[in-house]
């Protein structure tokens, strides 16, 4: 397979803010062709926000591309707020945004946590999802959280793991998510910054198949408010197990029996191991499962990016003629 490059950089033809309740306003933008096939990009995290790179995953001549920053992150306000910030609030926000933009049905594109949100929304609003493109599915089961924050990924990245646990006294290391929550909610910004730096460094070290980032001890000296917000929101969702019943998304896949989908999965994805996406593919008759060799978790890995671009092109063909 020849590696593909993203579509050329583009600017939004519309930007706006939408009040969604609980004091939150979400930022949204539209790019590409106003008369094109509607598609919404769901960013990961939770809490990371969208970027200009995400616009480039779709053919701008064929797609009406919608991007938005979920509650509390990116350009949405208030930054880092955990109030009224749950999976089901975000599902409602997505539906509110669809109605605001007067879109009948749209293609959902999400990776990692974005795949979680796409599945939760599509299962709740099956008539509004024209299809799904999912990368590295995370479904929020206890086994998935334990793999990344208790016993699993640490065996592959013991040097980076050491930096993560170094911030936490031995007496609290039996529950790192709860221990980090206490620090990320601390009134002292310096405490929050050190915790956020270590929390995000662990994730950043594991997302690519090959990482050039050496492990470093957290100092908190140059941590942005956005980085703190990301860590707070992600930890908040994981602490509450995403407000999902154990195995809920997989159990409800019968709701998507008639919905077409593409699943792109890196074989060596350490953040969301392939077993999860494999199980979803077995339960989803209309899913096209792409297990990508020599790839990890990030959408920017060349082979994964190529599969994602092929998927958006394929949906543009199929949905336009369907």
Write the secondary structure of the chain as one string of H (helix), E (strand) and C (coil).
CCCCCCCCCCCCCEEEEEEEECCEEEEEEEEECCCCEEEEEECCCCCCCCCHHHHCCCCCCCEEEEEECCCCCCCCECCCCCCCCCHHHHHHHHHHHHHHCCCCCEEEEEECHHHHHHHHHHHHCHHHEEEEEEECCCCCCHHHHHHHHCCCHHHCCHHHHHHHHHCCCHHHCCCHHHHHHHHHCCCCHHHHHHHHHHHHHHHHHHCCCCCCCCCCCCCCCCCCHHHHHHHHHHHHHHHCHHHCCCCHHHHCHHHHCCCCEEEEEECCCCCCCHHHHHHHHHCCCCEEEEEECCCCCCCCCHHHHHHHHHHHHHHHHHHHHC
pLDDT for 100 = 98
The C-alpha atoms of residue 315 and residue 313 are separated, in whole angstroms, by 6
pLDDT for 292 = 97
CB 120 within 8 A of CB 97: no
Q: How far is CA 198 from CA 110, 205, 242, in A?
A: 25, 11, 21
pLDDT for 319 = 85
125 carries an active-site annotation: no
pLDDT for 86 = 98
112 carries an active-site annotation: yes
pLDDT for 163 = 95
Say which of 76, 269, 277, 295 is annotated catalytic.
269
pLDDT for 322 = 57
Choosing among 3.40.50.1820, 2.120.10.30, 3.30.1370.100, 3.10.20.30, the CATH entry for 14-140+245-321 is 3.40.50.1820
Give the tens place of pLDDT for each residue, 275-303. 999 999 999 999 999 999 999 999 999 99
Say which of 76, 112, 139, 295 is annotated catalytic.
112
CB atoms within 10 A of CB 169: 8
297 carries an active-site annotation: yes
CB atoms within 10 A of CB 313: 16
- Averaged over successive runs of 10 residues, the pLDDT of the chain (322 residues) comes to 92 98 98 98 97 98 98 98 98 98 98 98 98 98 97 95 96 97 97 96 92 66 94 98 98 98 98 98 98 95 97 93 61
Residues carrying CATH 3.40.50.1820, the chain: 14-140+245-321
């Amino acid at each position: 397979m020849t590696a593909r490059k993203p579509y050329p950089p583009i600017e939004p033809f519309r930007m706006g803010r939408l009040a969604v309740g609980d004091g939150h306003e979400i930022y949204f933008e539209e790019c590409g062709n106003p008369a094109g096939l509607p598609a919404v990009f769901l960013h990961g995290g939770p809490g990371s926000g969208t970027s200009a790179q995400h616009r480039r995953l779709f053919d701008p001549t064929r797609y009406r591309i919608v991007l938005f920053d979920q509650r509390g992150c990116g350009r949405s306000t208030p930054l880092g707020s955990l109030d009224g910030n749950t999976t089901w609030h975000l599902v409602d926000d997505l539906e509110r945004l669809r109605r605001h933009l007067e879109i009948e049905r749209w293609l959902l594109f999400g990776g990692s946590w974005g795949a979680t949100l796409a599945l939760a929304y599509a299962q709740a609003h099956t008539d509004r999802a024209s299809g799904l493109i999912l990368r590295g599915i995370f479904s929020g089961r206890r086994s998935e959280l334990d793999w990344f924050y208790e016993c699993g990924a640490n065996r592959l990245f013991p040097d980076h793991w050491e930096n993560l646990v170094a911030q936490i006294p031995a007496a609290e290391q039996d529950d790192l998510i709860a221990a980090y929550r206490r620090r990320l909610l601390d009134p002292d910004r310096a405490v929050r910054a050190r915790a956020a730096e270590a929390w995000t460094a662990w994730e950043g070290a594991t997302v690519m198949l090959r990482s050039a980032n050496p492990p470093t001890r957290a100092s908190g000296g140059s941590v942005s408010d956005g980085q703190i917000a990301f860590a707070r929101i992600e930890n908040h969702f994981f602490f509450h197990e995403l407000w999902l019943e154990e195995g809920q998304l997989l159990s409800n896949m019968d709701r998507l029996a008639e919905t077409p989908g593409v699943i792109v999965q890196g074989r060596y994805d350490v953040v969301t191991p392939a077993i999860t996406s494999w199980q979803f593919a077995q339960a989803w008759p209309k899913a096209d499962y792409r297990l990508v060799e020599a790839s990890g978790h990030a959408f920017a890995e060349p082979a994964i990016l190529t599969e994602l671009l092929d998927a958006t092109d394929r949906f543009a063909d199929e949905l336009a003629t369907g």
